Amino acid sequence: MTRTMWDSSVGKKTVMAASGLIMLGYLVVHMLGNLKIFFGSDEFNHYAHWLRTIGEPFLHYEWALWIIRVVLVAAVVAHAVSAYQLSRRDIRARPTKYVHKKPRASYATRTMRWGGIILGLFIVWHILDLTTGTVHPGGFQHGHPYQNVIDTFSTWYGNVIYIVAMLALGLHVRHGFWSAAQTLGVGSRTRDRAFKTIANVLALVLTAGFIAVPVGVMTGVVS
Ligand code: HEM
């Protein structure tokens, strides 16, 4: 039987790179949108409302939002399944058992695995917190994200969860973007260096931009 593209390691890495880039694009837009919180509650809540009316009247209320949700869920699932399969393959590829102590995976590999798990858990918490309100502290109000965000960052654990997750996000994006560039065949020495710089800048800007929101609430700049 011939091996299909999907079965190959390169195929799985390509799926990881493509789904990762889709999520990265979403994150840049989400981070920039979140910064609107510094312009006050009217502007932030109006922006959240606009997210639900994109494409009207061609699209129905919330359809564009649902299309984005479906694409993101597909990207998360493809990313996680390929990551799992690649790491299983890593273990199976070893022809004999280690004689001595099993060497640990490289620092980057371990950071990516743990980072991925932390981010997966964070996304579930985040949706239950600020989209459905299930775990939200205080009275969650649909259509009033400004107040909901303030309530979240008025608890110590809200700040800890989000800030830890954003640090994990920075590390994950830094290495992930670089890996994607390798997989998609960037190639030359000078371009390698450029992509490393882009990876560092992206990671730093995303982490700082996201963390600005809890810091804004904690310092009273957003209230
Ligand atoms: C401090 C950091 C963050 C803040 C303050 C924040 C804030 C918010 C808020 C207020 C919403 C609800 C918007 C609305 O219903 O109109 C939201 C939705 C969402 N956030 Fe974040 N976010 C943060 C970080 C992240 C990160 C790092 C990710 C991904 C890893 C993420 C993924 C999402 C997703 C997927 C949704 C959409 C849920 C849905 O409506 O289906 N967020 N965020």
Give the domain CATH number at 12: 1.20.1300
Q: Does 25 reside within a domain? A: yes
Is 58 within a domain?
A: yes
In a domain, 178, yes or no: yes
Atom of ligand 1 nearest to the CA of 153: 5
Give the separation between CA 194 and CA 61, rounded to whole angstroms.
Answer: 42
User: pLDDT tens digit string along 61-82?
Assistant: 999 999 999 999 999 999 999 9
H or E stretch at 10: helix 9-34
Domain that holds residue 167: 2-98+107-218
Q: What is the average pLDDT score of the chain? A: 92
Chain length of the chain: 223
Find the 104 Cα to ligand 1 centroid distance in Å. 34
Ligand 1 mean position, distance from CA 218 (Å): 18
223 within some domain: no
Rounded to the nearest angstrom, the distance between the alpha carbon of 182 and the centre of ligand 1 is: 29
What would the pLDDT profile of 142-192 be if each residue is shown by its tens digit? 999 999 999 999 999 999 999 999 999 999 999 999 999 988 877 677 888
Kindly report the pTM of this predicted structure: 0.92
| pLDDT for the residue numbered 212 | 98
Q: Residue 95 Cα, ligand 1 centroid: separation in angstroms?
A: 44
Any atom of ligand 1 within 6 Å of the Cβ of 149: yes
Q: Count of CB atoms within 10 A of residue 158's CB?
A: 22
Q: Do the domain assignments include residue 62?
A: yes
* 72 CB near ligand 1 (under 6 Å): yes
Number of domains present in the structure of the chain: 1
Nearest CA residue ID for atom 5, ligand 1: 213
Residue 74 belongs to some domain of the structure: yes
What pLDDT score was predicted for residue 1? Answer: 43
Q: Helix H segments across the chain? A: 9-34, 41-53, 63-92, 107-130, 145-152, 156-183, 189-218
Our answer on whether the CB atom of 144 is closer than 6 Å to any ligand 1 atom is no
Is residue 152 included in any domain, yes or no?
Answer: yes
